[in-house]
Amino acid sequence: MGDKRVIVIGAGIGGLAAALSLAARGLDVTVLERADTVGGKMRSLPVGGVPVEAGPTVFTMRWVFDELFAEAGTSLDAAVRPRPTALLARHAWNARERLDLFADIGASADAIGRFAGAREADGYRRFCARAAEVYRTLEGPFIRADRPSPVDLGRRVGLSGIGGLWRIQPFATLWSALGEYFQDRRLRQLFGRYSTYCGASPFEAPATLMLVAHVEQAGVWTVEGGLSGLARATAGLAERCGARLRTGAPVARIVVERGRVAGVELEGGERIAADAVIASADVAALGAGLFGAEVAPAGDLVPPRERSLSAVTVCLRARASGFDLAHHTVFFSSDYRAEFDAILRARRLPTDPTVYVCAQDRGDAATAPDGPERLLVLVNAPADGERPLTPQEIAACETSWTRRLAACGLTLAPEGPATVTTPGDFAGLFPGTGGALYGRASHGWTATFKRSGARTKVPGLYLAGGSVHPGPGVPMAAQSGRLAAAALIADLGSTRPWRGAVTSGGTSTR
């Protein structure tokens, strides 16, 4: 297998995970990334000379990386020193209504009881049990496996698991399912927000997304250097296993000869031969023909109204006052349905948005640092990146989110200019997406099965990344890379044993 050459297009976490898994098996791997840095959406931006995390900030399902790093003979703990958090997130609706959720279910239930009463606390415990059941039902036959059809999924869970599959309410929306556990509108809003982790609306996403609640309950970690640091660590380990990483190397087309992949051609005309290619770009880029007409059928044409959410993000350094920020804080809008109607139906920024703030210099103690702190502010937006936001729209967005923070008691005093990223900017960073951050929206029970799997109809071409199975988010995208690598190796008929450890240290699993 050492003579088999594989090219990975894209150094997002899906591509990096695939490259690491393949290099650890001894394959000849080259990663080609159009940007100047690795990580894709797991990125940081300099603000006043200080790096601020500008992409994902919540790290869960660490078992994916535990297993990935173990394949290379090392451990996640040795690479980025993940630290579990006791306080999952702080939530606010106004200056008086605030609620913290904790890693300990009992502590969260007590907090919910004080916030909304004993009935809601009991509903929370029942909700946690159901979310855990959903996750257990889907981890083996879905998350860890190749993309199934509905029939395949039923076959995988077997007769004994059909009851569990039915109980996860695949045909209900998340919002309606939450009504079985919570009468309090604020709590439905809080747990409905988990659909946005997949770029979806709680009013259209399937109830199965309640598994996100269990994923967070099972553990949220912070890592050294943020999640962009995790991407760099994965890339570094892949290189130590023998993979070559080339940044600033945009691929113009995937070369197909005699009906199968033969390599790639870069925009500058350089051609690189390969026995297989893993495309870790958004499937919409493939479907739009951005990698050549011959492989376009392997992609997906996602109409604008079927795209997942985009966002307006603001990276800044500021002094915060009037509200005790946690590492993760969510400030909820007054009308959740109106917010999503504005984004997904009217295709405009909401006038009263839910605002997420990541205070990157705060830990569980949530004490304010001396001086300005690093903040990421995010509001959801429609993925219509082909129509750039006007300066007036960007200014109105800033007015809206600062008003929402002020309504909850938080005032920010920025130090120096902020860096704003809009759906149009995301569309430029990730071609073919229109600014969608999570691929096709997870709306309706069939959406999950519309995502492409690792294998394609083009021999030698495989897919990875957050727009393919098993879905968006850092651990899921990394898992897609592992699935793509496993499919490629299986198709090549590899029986080669794993390469030895590249660093000292054992594995760490939960």
Element (H, E) at 358: strand 355-359
- Average pLDDT value for the chain: 91
The answer to whether residues 274 and 287 touch, using CB atoms and an 8 Å cutoff, is no
Look at residue 497 in the predicted model and tell me its pLDDT. Answer: 42
d(CA 279, CA 491): 16
| Arithmetic mean of pLDDT, 291-303 | 95
User: Is 64 in a helix, a strand, or coil?
Assistant: helix
DSSP 273-324: E-SEEEE-S-HHHHHTTTT-GGGGGGS----GGGB--EEEEEEEEEEEESS-
| Residue owning tokens 């931006």 | 45
Look at residue 46 in the predicted model and tell me its pLDDT. Answer: 96
Q: What percent of the chain has pLDDT over 90?
A: 84
User: Is 353 in a helix, a strand, or coil?
Assistant: coil
Q: Which has more pLDDT, 148 or 356? A: 356
d(CA 404, CA 380): 14
d(CA 134, CA 184): 23
| Arithmetic mean of pLDDT, 351-372 | 87
Query: 162 CB contacts (<8 Å, ≥6 apart)?
Result: 154
Q: Categorize the per-residue pLDDT at 498 as very low, low, confident or very high, splitting at 50, 70 and 90.
A: very low
d(CA 54, CA 41): 8
**Is the predicted pLDDT of residue 509 greater than 60, yes or no?**
no
Look at residue 141 in the predicted model and tell me its pLDDT. Answer: 82
Q: Categorize the per-residue pLDDT at 368 as very low, low, confident or very high, splitting at 50, 70 and 90.
A: confident
Q: Categorize the per-residue pLDDT at 449 as very low, low, confident or very high, splitting at 50, 70 and 90.
A: confident
| Arithmetic mean of pLDDT, 161-180 | 70
> Based on C-alpha coordinates, what's the Rg of the chain?
22
Strands (E), 2-122: 5-9, 28-32, 44-47, 50-53, 83-84, 87-92, 98-102
Q: Which candidate, 222, 190, 220, places its Cα nearest to that of 103?
A: 220
| Arithmetic mean of pLDDT, 12-23 | 98
Look at residue 409 in the predicted model and tell me its pLDDT. Answer: 98
**CB-based burial label for 360 (10 Å; 0-12, 13-18, 19+):** buried
282: its two tokens = 């958004």
Model pLDDT for residues 51-62, shown as the tens digit of each residue? 999 999 999 999
The answer to whether residues 374 and 50 touch, using CB atoms and an 8 Å cutoff, is yes
Model pLDDT for residues 419-430, shown as the tens digit of each residue? 999 999 999 999
| Residue owning tokens 């739009």 | 288
Look at residue 106 in the predicted model and tell me its pLDDT. Answer: 98
Give the domains, in start order, of the chain with CATH numbers: 5-42+59-82+224-302+442-492 (3.50.50.60), 104-218 (no CATH), 305-429 (no CATH)
Ranking 130-144, 153-167, 168-182, 304-318 by mean pLDDT, the lowest is 153-167
d(CA 59, CA 71): 20
The answer to whether residues 380 and 437 touch, using CB atoms and an 8 Å cutoff, is no
| Arithmetic mean of pLDDT, 279-292 | 97
Look at residue 229 in the predicted model and tell me its pLDDT. Answer: 97
Look at residue 267 in the predicted model and tell me its pLDDT. Answer: 97
Look at residue 102 in the predicted model and tell me its pLDDT. Answer: 97
The answer to whether residues 441 and 308 touch, using CB atoms and an 8 Å cutoff, is yes
Look at residue 371 in the predicted model and tell me its pLDDT. Answer: 87
Look at residue 152 in the predicted model and tell me its pLDDT. Answer: 57
Q: Categorize the per-residue pLDDT at 165 as very low, low, confident or very high, splitting at 50, 70 and 90.
A: very low
Look at residue 155 in the predicted model and tell me its pLDDT. Answer: 60
Distances (CA, A) of 476 to 248, 265, 278, 404, 479: 26, 29, 16, 31, 5
Q: Categorize the per-residue pLDDT at 502 as very low, low, confident or very high, splitting at 50, 70 and 90.
A: very low
**Is the predicted pLDDT of residue 382 greater than 50, yes or no?**
yes
d(CA 79, CA 233): 6
**Is the predicted pLDDT of residue 365 greater than 80, yes or no?**
no
Look at residue 505 in the predicted model and tell me its pLDDT. Answer: 34
Look at residue 150 in the predicted model and tell me its pLDDT. Answer: 63
The answer to whether residues 370 and 403 touch, using CB atoms and an 8 Å cutoff, is no
**Is the predicted pLDDT of residue 163 greater than 50, yes or no?**
no
**CB-based burial label for 186 (10 Å; 0-12, 13-18, 19+):** middle
Task: Indicate the pTM of the whole model.
Answer: 0.93
**Is the predicted pLDDT of residue 16 greater than 90, yes or no?**
yes
Taking residue 296's Cβ as centre, other Cβ atoms within 10 Å add up to 18
Look at residue 154 in the predicted model and tell me its pLDDT. Answer: 57
Most confidently modeled of 88-97, 162-171, 448-457, 488-497? 88-97
Look at residue 494 in the predicted model and tell me its pLDDT. Answer: 47
Torsion sign over Cα 74, 78, 85, 52: negative
d(CA 155, CA 278): 28
Model pLDDT for residues 200-220, shown as the tens digit of each residue? 999 999 998 999 999 999 999
Model pLDDT for residues 61-80, shown as the tens digit of each residue? 999 999 999 999 999 999 99
Look at residue 169 in the predicted model and tell me its pLDDT. Answer: 55
